[in-house]
Amino acid sequence: MTAKEHKIAPPIFSDTPPDFQVTIIKYSDTELEKHGLKEALRKIVLHVQEFRSITNAEVQKLNNVSKATATRYLSELEDEYLEKTGTTGVGTQYRLKGLTNGS
């Protein structure tokens, strides 16, 4: 089975001679709650884990919140969980930290 079929992020491969490392990211709702994330933020991280990315508009729909609140949620998650891809504006997407476009 593939990572996508298991609804987890693809593994992150790093090759820094002489070492080779594989990192598998699998967040659970319980684990994220233990890290102190409120439900709305957990939903975002789990969505990104399953669908590989999220936009501000998707956060608005997922959590039934305003654009400003969605922006605030994404900013909070950028510190530890997400990274912004693209320029600021409509085309901006957020992915799990450490993933590349090909992952």
Q: Omega before 11 cis (within 30°)? A: no
pLDDT tens series, the chain, 103 aa: 565 565 555 666 778 888 888 777 678 899 899 989 999 999 999 999 889 899 999 999 999 999 999 999 999 999 899 999 987 788 899 998 865 444 4
pLDDT number for residue 17:
85
Stated as kind and residue range, the H or E segment containing 83 is strand 82-85
**12-96, CATH topology level:** Arc Repressor Mutant, subunit A (1.10.10)
pLDDT number for residue 87:
78
pLDDT number for residue 31:
87
Domain boundaries defined on the chain = 12-96
